[in-house]
Every structure is written in structure tokens, then in C-alpha cells.
Amino acid sequence: KKRVAVLISGRGSNMSALIEAAKNADFPAEIVAVIANKSDAGGLDAARAQGIQAYAIPNRDYASKQQHETAVSEALHAAKADIVCLAGYMRLLSPEFVREWEGKMLNIHPSLLPLFRGLHTHDQALEAGVRVHGCTVHFVTAGMDEGPIIAQTAVPVKTGDTADSLTERVLSVEHETYARALALVATGKAKMENGRTVFSD
């Protein structure tokens, strides 16, 4: 099984979904560590309750982004991680860090990329007037929310939707989408090659 570390900043519902999926004996990955960049990230307790090593490496404790990333990198190596999953990790990683994990680092984004990069994706979707919205799991590259797509799930936008109702509908499909994408990468059925995702059965 591939060893997976999950990076979070908050409540970690996607992290919990990956932990849950990995309990299945057939799942090709195990979650070996959870690291938060905030000491009060709610997901840390949720991970510990599942018996998973989880701790904060708070970026505010470090003088520079580079020093913080060095600490995160050391933690990932100490955990012998093969794959890194960003799950609501709200810090942009440097190109150097991204390069080290190229093809082995995944992110989930709450929109159908390449639409609506960045923050407030549900407001962006309402503003644009799209009638379908959703989530994307992609390989992480240096450009924010730009990497090659591994999996997407669409949901309808309904009359009367608000950012809150859309957040909830999209989140309800994020969890299975992330587990599915991680399984594809862990088995080698989805690989990043020359800036594209190549799929095989």
C-alpha cells in the first residue's frame, strides 16, 4: 500500500473521508500522518481519534515560508510518505516544494476546474450563473489550482441556491471524489506525465 500524508488547515472533512476509505482492506493506500499548518485545526483531533499520527507545524512559528516548508518536508520524509494529499490546506506551496512532490501530490478544489480558481468558488459560480458546479482533484503544480485533473464530480446549481447551500452540495461529493482519485494515483492508474494525467486500467 502507498503511504499517504494529508495536509490540512481546518476541520478536515476530506481528510476524514480519506481515512474512512483507507479502512477498506482493498484500498490501495494507508493514511500514515496528518499535518496541519494551524495548531487549532479541528481535523487534528479527528485524525488522532482514528489512531493516526497528527500534529501541527504552524507556519506562524517560522520566520519564513522556506523554513516552514523545510519542516513540513522533514515531517513527510520521517513519515515515509509516498503521496501527499492537500485537503483544505490553505497555503500556497513554493515551486521548490511542489517540484519535489511532482506527480505525487494531490489537491481537492471546490469547483470544476479550470473554472473558478482561488477562493470563494461558490460565490464565483453563482456570480457566473453556471447551472452545473462541482469539485476537482488534480495533481499539484506550481500554478495555483492549475495542475492536471485526476477526477471531477458535477452537481446541479438549483434555483434559490446560496453560497452555503452550494458549499454543502459540493462538499457532499468531494469526499468520494477524493478517495476515488487517490485510489487511481496509488494504483498507478492515473499518472502525471509531461504535465498531463495519463490514465490506464
Q: Which of residues 52-91 bind ligand GAR (CB under 6 A)?
A: 87-88
Is 109 marked active-site? yes
Among the listed ranges 4-12, 45-53, 63-71, 92-100, the one in contact with ligand GAR (CB under 6 A) is: 4-12
Q: State which of positions 139-178 bind ligand GAR (CB under 6 A).
A: 171, 174
Is-contact 12 46, C-beta < 8 A? yes
Q: How far is the CB of 174 from ligand GAR (least distance, A)?
A: 5
Q: By CB under 6 A, which span of 20-28, 48-56, 103-111, 125-133 interacts with ligand GAR?
A: 103-111
- Choose the binding region for ligand GAR from 24-32, 46-54, 105-113, 123-131 (rule: CB under 6 A): 105-113
Cis peptide preceding 58, ω within 30 of 0: no
Check binding of 108 to ligand GAR (CB under 6 A): yes
Comparing CB distances to ligand GAR, the nearer of 45 and 74 is 45
- Compute the distance between CA of residue 195 and CA of residue 139 in angstroms, rounded to an integer: 9
Q: Which helix (H) or strand (E) holds 133?
A: strand 132-139
Q: Which is nearer to ligand GAR, 11 or 191 (CB)?
A: 11
DSSP string across 44-111: HHHHHHTT--EEE--GGGSSSHHHHHHHHHHHHHHTT-SEEEESS--SPPPHHHHHHTTTTEEEEESS
Q: Which of 116, 115, 57, 111 is nearest to 89 (CA)?
A: 57
Catalytic residue list: 109
Give the residue ranges of the annotated binding site for (6R)-10-formyltetrahydrofolate.
Answer: 65, 90-93, 107
